[in-house]
């Protein structure tokens, strides 16, 4: 608030102006947190439908940019503050559903990186992706389990688009839910590791965690 605003008395006949970003009619409740992991900080964002986004390398600047993008996409500011201690959050009684989905995502992500969980059983919000990309990612999430890999061409065949191997690669790059929707398990048909939005070293670490690649010696 400016000095002029503090010194000006409101007119009781006028409705007070709303401050901050106006929420759209279809605004959606959501919450976020940054979790420390062996592949660096991950930003997790959840709506009332479920986990909606995972962002790699979520240091302060990247996290702030991701939160700003989500605020625009979802039409509202986050409804719950991120946790401040050890990355663990517990949704209190009466908290919005998004906070509960976020807490469960953090719990399962911690279990995954500890080598305990072999599958995620989270509610997912697929609204940040559409069309062919969503079809491919749903197939990947449903039918390429922990400890296995699939080729870009094979995944294209599975969704009935045998000429779309390159488009499958683009779909992996647009994945809003990496790690949970395991685009790290998609590799080149000739045996190469393929690309990865989180970086090749991150992909190697995830595949080593799942036993597909040997653990690094150093």
SS (H, E, C) 105-166: HHHHHHHHHCCCCCCCCCCECCCCCCHHHHHHHHHHHHHCCCCCCEEHHHHHHHCCCCCCHH
Known catalytic residue: 183? yes
Distance, CA of 198 to CA of 167 (rounded, Å): 18
Which is catalytic among the residues 35, 80, 136, 183?
183
Burial class (CB in 10 A: 0-12, 13-18, 19+), 190: exposed
Going by C-alpha positions, the residue among 70, 83, 71 that lies closest to residue 41 is: 83
SS3 content of the chain, % helix, strand, coil (to 5): 35, 10, 55
Going by C-alpha positions, the residue among 89, 104, 96, 59 that lies closest to residue 74 is: 96
Structure tokens at 117: 């969980």
Would you please indicate which residues are annotated as catalytic (active-site) residues? Answer: 183
């Amino acid at each position: 608030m400016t000095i002029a605003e503090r010194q000006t008395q409101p007119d009781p006949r006028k409705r007070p102006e709303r401050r901050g970003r106006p929420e759209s009619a279809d605004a959606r409740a959501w919450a976020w947190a940054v979790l420390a992991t062996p592949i660096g900080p991950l930003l997790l964002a959840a709506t009332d439908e479920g986990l909606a986004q995972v962002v790699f390398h979520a240091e302060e600047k990247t996290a702030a940019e991701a939160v700003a993008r989500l605020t625009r996409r979802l039409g509202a500011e986050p409804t719950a503050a991120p946790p401040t201690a050890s990355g663990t959050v517990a949704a209190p009684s009466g908290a919005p559903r998004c906070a509960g989905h976020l807490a469960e995502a953090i719990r399962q992500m911690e279990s995954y990186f500890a080598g305990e969980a072999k599958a995620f059983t989270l509610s997912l919000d697929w609204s940040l992706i559409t069309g062919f990309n969503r079809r491919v990612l749903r197939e990947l999430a449903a039918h390429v389990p922990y400890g296995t890999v699939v080729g870009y061409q094979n995944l294209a065949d599975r969704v009935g688009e045998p000429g779309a191997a390159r488009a499958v690669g683009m779909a992996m790059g647009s994945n809003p839910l990496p790690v949970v929707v395991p685009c790290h398990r998609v590799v080149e048909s000739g045996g190469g590791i393929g690309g990865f939005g989180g970086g090749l070293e991150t992909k190697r670490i995830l595949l080593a965690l799942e036993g597909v690649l040997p653990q690094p010696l150093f």
